[in-house]
A and B are shown apart, each in its own frame.
Chain A
């Protein structure tokens, strides 16, 4: 602890050092006098031989540990003072670095959480799903399987360690005076153990629960338990009537468990699973498997293709003509392809941003280093050691990096909060938790801080090695900013402008695409419509007559509710109409297999959605009540299959209806009306031919309820719900929402999110580039003050100087724009799939973006240029 003692006795240490050195000198002098020199000559020789006492004292001090600390603190204070003096520089560097770090960390966190670690499940990296792909259409055919298929897959495969199946089930929990609709999931034996997430309260499902004949139980999702069961721990062990079956709640799962996005999970044996599902629409089960360790998805795909081919020979109509099986990581599969691509695009965008930010910081540091060359030279001449200079610059870099890093973390934290709340639902798995990702943060910090150190240190190394005389003579008087620093700075700016142009162009395309999409005419009125799904308990609603016995009185009751103008039911709702069917029209032979989308509805459907009739009429009430085979077609159907003929009275054969379970015999329908086209195949695609017929013709237990209201439909939920309850207390509305909001959420939320994000990124990019251009131009004009002074003294006009500066700025900008155009086109080509209604090489966007960038860039040059014209020649010439 010597150093500690010394730290406490600094004056003593100093005195001792002094007396040690003087002892040496005095001994030397004494020796010289003894050898016969005069005292004066002895002193002179001794001093000469010894060298600078103060210099060696300083070196001795530096040798001591505690003095190193001292020096560091001094450097730190000096650096802080220097940065405060140059506040604009410090602020801009820190801000640029923080923006870049913040934005990239936030985006990388989102992507990592959403795509790579979305689940809390055991060995989630090895969880996979199986897609049957239609090779003729290069698209997924289905990723759901029937129970017999799942059992065969489990028996025949050698690539999966284990697997689990789930099937959605609308669950209505009956209360005494109200009922609660919940999303249930039937799960196959061992599913919850397979996923490996324990229960939070009570217990998870045990092996015995899945046995046929076991007492009926279920487990609850944490969020549902909080929201709908008031976090009541007493609920565990209680019995609830779910879809008419008394089931005991045995546990609440841990907070992130949300398999299938359900509220509750019901165990189901394989035997029960076979009989559980009857209809065409819900015989398929979700299927998740865990790869054996060491098995790749490609190996699994190959084996699954073989198995699927075998299954297809037993059941050819469940498979496309040419297909294969593709095994895909579960985490990836849950995020829609389109959104996945958008996320990757944002990653690229944010990486560009990080580059621009770091480029800016590098430029600022380089500029600052150049102006300080003289300072370094003076200090080196006054005896500052090379390592002292470098250390001092490093301390300065450290301060900047620290500031940037702290602010960056703050930005990242805010960014993640904003992103996680603004991300559209249904784009990521319900289990996904978006949070700041420490490894990513470390990575971004490393890049940013690394930039500061590298670009802070390079000039320092150079300055400390440079020729003192040259620097002293030259510093501060550069001509038009030549030299390698200047070249480096200019190329950084050119690169920044290019990257910024790319970002802006991408944002522009997204804006155009979004505008085009949101202005697509729908062909139906979405305002003032309340929409809900009405799942009917399958055990009580088996036949068309039973279903009609529910809807007929319900629709009647709804029409008499004040504020409701009309009400209808249909099998699905636009613009996502379901179920293509092969058709046949009396007396017509067709070259290709004609198809049409098939919909079931009640007579007021067209009135509720404001779809106008072109010819004929809608179904009559009697036709609906008697389940008569009549049909309404849309304009696309008419023009494609009838051209100039009159379709009214013609008959159309809907083959699908004859192949379903509970088939409709002799499914020929008489056309009674033609309606105008309404979007029925999402917004992006052209309309399909469509046929509607009375809902009473075929028993399907899940229906959409559509109610047109006078005022805000959101306020009518309760009134409509009351009528549903009054009609049958065992039925409850699922997700009642204004149609407008549903469409906005399902069609526009995703593109809007993308648009918003790209716009934010490109705005940040533009800000950074503006700062970059401004700082480089301001720096280079300030270096040219001397030159401008001479020019103006020799008769140059203010306009000439202005022109000189602007020309230089324009050259940099145009260089960047040129490179940027090439990069932009390359990027645009890769995002074609995400654009709609706008070409990837859209000229308008291109011109707008280039003009914007030029204007902003020139404005950034204008300020330093104006300053240059105000130079007083006399001052400038004196100015060094």
Chain B
């Protein structure tokens, strides 16, 4: 079932969103653009699935949201990282680094 695949990505997606938003207030579209740019379109997820994730992170108070005018004069929802979110991001990055270190160590030495 597709939802199981999402489950796998959920934690990673959350971490990436937090990382992107850490650079300053961004609206959803900008976050999506940024993710695509940085990952060079590596993640083939429907763009819409970003929004449930954003709402979830807002609900957990890792992100804060505010409606503001964009540079083009339209109103959009801007997300910023909260202190709680910053801590969560640090924890997740640390965990991720440990995991990837361990995985690459095994890949290098298990021959």
Contacts and interface: CB of A to CB of B under 8 A. Distances in A.
Most buried by B among A27, A62, A385: A27
A386 B6 CA distance: 13
B47 A23 contact: no
Interface stretch (B52-60, B83-91, B95-103): B52-60
B32 interface: yes
Contacts of A20: 28, 51, 76-77
Given A23-B74, A65-B59, A386-B1, A51 B49 contact: yes
A23 B28 CA distance: 9
A60 B52 contact: yes
Given A50-B48, A56-B49, A386 B28 contact: no
Contact of B48 (A19, A23, A56): A56
Nearest to B31: A24
A77 interface: no
A52 interface: yes
B49 A16 contact: no
B48 A55 contact: yes
Given A23-B76, A385-B3, A386-B1, A64 B55 contact: yes
Given A23-B27, A385-B3, A52 B48 contact: yes
Contact of A63 (B1, B3, B28, B52): B52
B77 A50 contact: no
A64 B48 contact: no
B46 interface: yes
A24 B29 contact: yes
Contacts of A60: 51-52, 55
Contacts of B51: 20-21, 24, 56, 59-60
Interface in A385-411: 385-386
B52 A56 contact: yes
B59 A63 contact: yes
Interface in A35-74: 49-53, 55-56, 59-60, 62-65
B79 to A, nearest CB: 10
Interface string A4-44: 00000000000010011101100110000000000000000
Interface string A71-91: 000000000000000000000
A63 B55 contact: yes
A63 B56 contact: yes
Interface residues of B, number: 20
A49 B28 CA distance: 14
A192 B1 CA distance: 73
A62 B74 CA distance: 27
Contacts of A19: 75
Contact of A49 (B1, B46, B52, B55): B46
A386 B1 CA distance: 9
A401 B10 CA distance: 34
Most buried by A among B27, B51, B56, B59: B51
Nearest to A3: B59
Nearest to A19: B75
B9 to A, nearest CB: 14
Interface string B23-54: 00001110010000000000000111101100
Interface string A174-203: 000000000000000000000000000000
Main secondary structure of the interface of A (DSSP, over half): helix
B31 to A, nearest CB: 10
Given A60-B52, A386-B1, A24 B59 contact: no
B103 to A, nearest CB: 29
Contacts of B28: 20, 23-24
A321 B77 CA distance: 99
A28 B32 CA distance: 10
A35 to B, nearest CB: 13
Contacts of A53: 48
Contacts of B48: 21, 50-53, 55-56
A53 B1 CA distance: 20
Contacts of B29: 23-24, 27-28
Contacts of B77: 16, 20, 23
A464 to B, nearest CB: 9
A49 B47 CA distance: 6
A482 B76 CA distance: 58
Contacts of A23: 27-29, 74, 76-77
A171 B74 CA distance: 101
B15 to A, nearest CB: 17
Contacts of A63: 52, 55-56, 59
Nearest to B61: A2
Contacts of A52: 48
B58 to A, nearest CB: 8
B50 to A, nearest CB: 8
B47 A50 contact: yes
B46 A50 contact: yes
B52 A51 contact: no
Most buried by B among A24, A62, A386: A24
A24 B1 CA distance: 27
Interface string B1-24: 101000000000000000000000
A54 to B, nearest CB: 10
Contacts of A56: 46, 48-49, 51-52
B27 A386 contact: no
Contacts of A27: 29
Contacts of A24: 28-29, 32, 47, 51
B27 to A, nearest CB: 7
A256 B72 CA distance: 85
Nearest to B59: A63
A24 to B, nearest CB: 5
Most buried by A among B32, B48, B74: B48
A28 B29 CA distance: 8
Nearest to A49: B47
Contacts of B1: 386
A65 B67 CA distance: 21
A56 B6 CA distance: 13
B3 to A, nearest CB: 5
B72 to A, nearest CB: 9
A717 B76 CA distance: 98
A59 B67 CA distance: 21
A55 B59 CA distance: 19
Contacts of B49: 51, 56, 59
Nearest to A51: B46
A59 B52 contact: yes
Nearest to A380: B1
Nearest to A23: B76
A52 B1 CA distance: 17
A52 B32 CA distance: 16
A823 to B, nearest CB: 45
A-B pairs, top 9 by smallest CB distance, nearest first, are A51-B46, A59-B52, A56-B48, A51-B48, A63-B55, A63-B56, A27-B29, A60-B55, A24-B29
Given A28-B47, A51-B49, A385-B3, 11 more contacts: A23-B74, A24-B32, A28-B29, A55-B48, A56-B49, A56-B52, A59-B51, A62-B52, A64-B55, A65-B59, A386-B3
28 contacts: A16-B67, A16-B77, A19-B75, A20-B28, A20-B51, A23-B29, A23-B76, A23-B77, A24-B29, A24-B47, A28-B29, A49-B46, A49-B47, A50-B46, A50-B47, A50-B48, A51-B47, A51-B48, A51-B49, A56-B46, A56-B51, A59-B52, A60-B55, A62-B52, A63-B52, A64-B55, A385-B3, A386-B1
Interface of A: 16, 19-21, 23-24, 27-28, 49-53, 55-56, 59-60, 62-65, 385-386
